[in-house]
With several copies, the nearest count.
Chain A
Amino acid sequence: MQLTYLEAIRQGIWEEMDRDPSVFCLGEDIGIYGGAFKVTDGFIDRFGPERVIDTPIAESAIVGAAFGASLTGMRPVAEFQFMDFIGCAFNQISNMVAKTHYLWGAPAPLVLRGPSGGYVHGGPFHSQNPEMWFVHNPGLKVICPATPYDAKGLIKAAIRDNNPCIFFEHKYLYRRIKGEVPADDYVVPIGKANIVREGRDLSIVTYAAMVHTALEAAEILAKENIDLEILDLRTVSPLDREAIAATVKKTNKVIILHEHSRTGGLAGEIAAIINEEVFDDLDGPIVRITGLDSAVPFSPPQEHHYLPKVEDVVRESRRLKAY
């Protein structure tokens, strides 16, 4: 059936709660209100206030409590009202949760999830894409789906995973895209990228909302006989090195496209991986298309200027093709 990205996530969590009584949700306004974006709408009626817990505004306590519950064998799904607020729980995530298994061997099957990303005029505190801080934080799995199918399959995989997973839901996609989602139970494996468009001239390595930007650009470029291959990473930690290497090996030219700010961003990591894996296959420099190095400005013309756009991909693709 056709579902929105949001509804796919909602169903994924719902089904896991139905299937496994050890799954429960906690977060701010997730109960009667159903969450700021209504991802948990109806959950409290179905699963009761014990399993759908409205918490005080205390992100470190939410993460801490989710982690503690996970140590007893529960599988908490904690919502950040916006992923911008994840910095309020940073130490708890980085030093408590992420290091647990490495240091003393306890699994911590929890999911931290919430809306991230721009293009909705959310301004500097409601548009952030903070995934890099967690990519550079061993012990966490970091997931950023682009389609309803992947979103549902990956949230289910994250809930079943025995590691702490951070699940970034792109709020621009929530209700703007629909896609086919099978009725049967399925999961999408964490850590596997996906070629969403095959092409021969150059590769775009990207994820989340930018996948759609890349696809749009590919349509335009197809008319100019520039044939893009698009790799949707889906999981940004751990990264699918093989898939990255394979697409570069094939097209020999690569653009890395991400929404978050450039310096210290994911494109750097991928550039390093490409150097390590397939340096000899490169026929042109690795190109980055990213957000600017500042906070995300609020005003639409400024936000538009700040964020990567279809025309950026078109322009850089032409340039790289000609290199």
Chain B
Amino acid sequence: MAIKKKNSKHSPNGSRRHNGASPATTIDLRTYSIPDLRLEHPDLSVRQSTEKDGHVRYEVTGNLDAPVPPIRDSKYLSKQQCIEIYRYMLLNRKMEVALENLYKQGKVVGGVYFGLGQEACSCASAYALDKDDWFAPMIRNQGSLLVRGFAARDTMMQYMAKADSPTRGRDGTSHFGDIEKRNMVSPISMLGDLIPVLSGVALGARLQGRNVAVMTYIGDGGQSTGVTYEGINFAAVQNLGLVLFIESNLWAYSTPSEMQYRCKDLAERAIGYGIPGVIVDGTDACQVYDAAREAVERAHAGEGPTLIEAKMMRMKGHAIHDAASYVPKPMFDFWKKRDPIARFDNYLVKEKKWLSSKENAELISEVERIIEAEREIAINSPMPEPESAEGGVYCEDGCHDIKPKYGTPKVKKGTGGYKETEAAVHLK
């Protein structure tokens, strides 16, 4: 990411110059570079059109036959790391297949949300975090949870509302958290609220002398919320290590991204925040990782937030109930060819030859065995007792021993700063 070294407080994306000294023509020309790691720039565009039968439908235009680009070699990932990410992506997908089956068997409470087509984004982003870093997934980032050390059963039990689920039945999907071991903040349904929260995590850590990276995600739809703006701006002004992935997957429920914003790419919003923005192909794990890792390193170096826009498509409906019939079919065809797992498989097996077909097959069946075993455990967990609905609204005395996670917070040193203020005087 070219912007990495530019650590100026203002306009990290750009430079400016004035052309001309004559008053009448002074105009401020600014050049911003939004690094774009993609190896293709799909030009598809969606709009509402009223058809002859009176129906309003979405229509797609653009080159739907463009060839599939290659995977971009990572600047950082080793062979082993690539395979590990690939394995997480497989786990992610197989787990979601298992969830779909559980749903069909009537074992799921409510709906199921899928990250189909977005596994590279979830897995390679979370893979870029260090152990001490923090993260919060959104509903499609079930892969991130696996990378961060949660078991598939955790998510499965959440969907089945089981007694042993991380929230003991109280919430579903990826709505759970863990502040003890895995540094995960639970999402809530309201889109964008996590962004200032993760910024606050970075602030808390910094007060304890630690620059941690805090990664979270937001959709092309969810980023329209005001709290997204407040949260990113807060991180920018406070120079906090927020790594925000905008999962630009073309749809927000049934609404195409054209109806969420009017700029060309959401990464452009980084300019107005005064922080680096970068665009990656969200179906290319290497690009996702590289951008994420550079952002994480900026965070660790105390250089502030980064906005990463990952472009891809949501390859199912909003949730399992939604057949996505509003999506023009050619869009599915276009993006199906860009399936992140098929492409990574091809890259590892055929291009790089880092995996033999046999090893690949073994890996796949190992993953399937794991998921099957997890599924068994999850299914066998009981439903919670009705009475377990009660209690825990407050953290009662002794329920938690709260101390700063990273050691004693920094305190202004010496008494030089001490002043006989009104309060200090009164204190005597």
Contacts and interface: CB of A to CB of B under 8 A. Distances in A.
A58 interface: yes
A57 B221 contact: yes
A104 B137 CA distance: 14
Interface string A27-66: 0110111001000011011111111011111111111111
Contacts, number: 338
Contacts of B143: none
A266 to B, nearest CB: 19
B224 A57 contact: yes
Contact of A107 (B222, B390, B402): B402
Contacts of A91: 190, 193, 227
A58 B226 contact: yes
B302 interface: no
Given A103-B186, A125-B188, A64 B393 contact: no
Q: Which interface residue of A59, A60, A163, A292 has the most chain B CB atoms within 10 A? A: A60
Interface in A168-198: 183
Nearest to A23: B409
Contacts of A11: 423, 426-427
Interface string A124-158: 11100000000000110100000000000000000
B169 interface: yes
Contacts of B55: 45
Interface residues of A, number: 98
Given A50-B410, A104-B166, A294 B389 contact: yes
Nearest to B413: A48
Contacts of A302: 169-170, 384, 386, 388-389
Contacts of A44: 56
B200 interface: yes
A15 interface: yes
Contacts of A69: 200-201, 203-204, 207
B405 A305 contact: no
A311 interface: no
B265 interface: no
Given A42-B423, A49-B56, A57 B225 contact: yes
B166 A46 contact: no
In the A-B complex, list the 9 residue pairs whose CB atoms are closest, starting with the nearest.
A68-B200, A64-B196, A299-B169, A42-B421, A72-B204, A69-B204, A65-B200, A33-B254, A125-B189
Interface of A: 1, 3, 7, 10-11, 14-15, 21-22, 24, 28-29, 31-33, 36, 41-42, 44-51, 53-76, 81-82, 84-85, 87-88, 91-92, 95-96, 99-109, 121-126, 138-139, 141, 162-163, 183, 238, 292-295, 297-306
25 contacts: A10-B423, A11-B427, A33-B254, A45-B421, A48-B56, A48-B412, A49-B50, A56-B221, A64-B200, A64-B227, A68-B199, A68-B201, A72-B208, A72-B404, A73-B405, A91-B227, A101-B392, A104-B175, A106-B179, A108-B395, A162-B402, A294-B392, A298-B170, A300-B109, A302-B386
